[in-house]
Amino acid sequence: MTCKVIVGGFYGDEGKGKIIAYLSIKDDPKIAVRGGVGANAGHTFVYNNQTFKVRMLPSAVLNSETKLLIGAGVLVTPGILKDELRKYNAEKRTIVDSHCGIIHESHIKRDMEDAHLKKVVGTTGAGTGPANSDRALRILNLAKDINELKSYLGNVSDIVNESIDENQSVIIEGTQGTFLSLYHGDYPFVTSKDVTASGICSDIGIGPKKVDDVILVFKAYVTRVGGGPLENEITVDEASKLGWLEYGSVTGRQRRASPFNMELAKKSVMINSATQIAVTKLDVVFPDCAGLKEYHRLSSQAKSFIEKIEDTVGVKVVFIGTGAEINEIIDRRIEN
């Protein structure tokens, strides 16, 4: 049994949701915990042709046996959480840490109307930056201060640490990506918190020695929404031709795109102390890989791409996404 932390390697939208949804069904974890910023992230996965999205709950929602937790560092938007609890029939298996910060309408308004946030940084407008700033000022309401979430409150740190000590399987979900970290990204074009593996563990309330695996998720190309540098950025036309044009799952904004960045990947592996890599959307770059589930069946070009990543960053690529469905994946923990 292991404790795994899954985090984004680039600028978010790497496909963490798909990897976590797959692991939640394949590994049947006892608990899944969400860390990260809050509802500024939308994690998407496709199961039996149906597309699901979560902005508050962990991406393990499809496994009805898995307990769903939200760590103290996460900001909760009560309306969004309650919609998801209903949609995924998750009321009885969800616990929100009583120290989660609460996003009110006023935070969303401030995020939308602030010229620096909206025009320069290009935030998602979810209210997370203003709420985290209120938290730093110690004037933000916490989950325990409001009535709405009373029936879901608990101590997530206690539950997760006990589960790990009892040798149960735990999945910890990060949001955004390494280079959107408030500390390690391209400030000021970043989110309002640290979102590297250490930051995510801190959100949950576990120490660094409790983690067995850090799975770092990269997409086979890079995308970014909002302002800030993007090395080797291609034009919208080029992205469209390559099939790399994407739209944000929270804001609907067109994402900027560039080819896979080996140097950035190397730095990301270092900052997160990654032990395993996941590469998603390999089929978008190498269409002949679509739907494959065995490594040996990949084309030689696709294999060279994976090997180049492994040689550059020094960590094995253990999961490879070959399609939108959560089971369209090569899982190299199983020898193939």
Contacting residues for 30 by C-beta, under 8 A, at least 6 apart? 66, 67, 163, 168, 169, 170
Residue least distant from ligand IMP (Cβ) = 226
Min CB(36)–ligand IMP separation in Å? 8
Q: Where are the beta strands (DSSP E) in 148-194?
A: 153-154, 170-173
What interhelical angle do 105-113 and 128-136 show, nearest 10?
110
Min CB(171)–Mg ion separation in Å? 18
User: Could you say which of 176, 178, 261, 268 contacts ligand IMP (CB under 6 A)?
Assistant: 176
Question: ω into residue 29 within 30 of 0, thus cis?
Answer: no
Min CB(77)–Mg ion separation in Å? 16
The burial class, CB within 10 Å (0-12 / 13-18 / 19+), for 231 is: exposed
Q: What does each C-alpha distance from 32 to 6, 59, 94, 176 come to in angstroms? A: 11, 8, 10, 17
Longest dimension (CA), the chain: 58
Stretch that binds ligand IMP, among 35-43, 147-155, 209-217, 268-276 (CB under 6 A): 35-43
Name which of Mg ion, ligand IMP, none residue 123 binds, using a CB cut-off of 5 to 8 Å depending on partner kind: ligand IMP
Q: Any long-range contacts for 178-187 (C-beta under 8 Å, 24+ apart)?
A: 178/7, 178/8, 178/9, 178/10, 178/216, 178/267, 178/268, 178/271, 178/272, 179/10, 179/11, 179/264, 179/268, 180/8, 180/11, 180/12, 184/271, 185/228, 186/228, 186/229
- DSSP string spanning 294-336? -GGGS-HHHHHHHHHHHHHH-S-EEEEE-SSBTT-EEETTS--
Let me know how long the chain is: 336
Q: Nearer to ligand IMP by C-beta: 54 or 85?
A: 54
Residues that bind ligand IMP (rule: CB under 6 A) add up to a total of 21
Min CB(40)–ligand IMP separation in Å? 4
Stretch that binds ligand IMP, among 8-16, 91-99, 236-244, 271-279 (CB under 6 A): 8-16
User: Could you say which of 192, 196, 198, 272 contacts ligand IMP (CB under 6 A)?
Assistant: 192
* 121 touching ligand IMP, by CB under 6 A: yes
User: Could you say which of 5, 7, 10, 13 contacts ligand IMP (CB under 6 A)?
Assistant: 13
* 280 touching ligand IMP, by CB under 6 A: no
Q: Nearer to ligand IMP by C-beta: 8 or 93?
A: 8
Catalytically active residues are 13, 43
Min CB(73)–ligand IMP separation in Å? 14
Name which of Mg ion, ligand IMP, none residue 202 binds, using a CB cut-off of 5 to 8 Å depending on partner kind: none
Name which of ligand IMP, Mg ion, none residue 192 binds, using a CB cut-off of 5 to 8 Å depending on partner kind: ligand IMP
Q: Nearer to Mg ion by C-beta: 6 or 160?
A: 6
Which helix (H) or strand (E) is 51 found in, with range?
strand 50-54
Positions touching Mg ion (CB under 5 A) are 13, 42, 249
Name which of Mg ion, ligand IMP, none residue 258 binds, using a CB cut-off of 5 to 8 Å depending on partner kind: none
Name the site residues for ligand IMP (rule: CB under 6 A).
Answer: 11-13, 37, 40-41, 121-124, 126, 128-129, 175-176, 180, 189, 191-192, 225-226
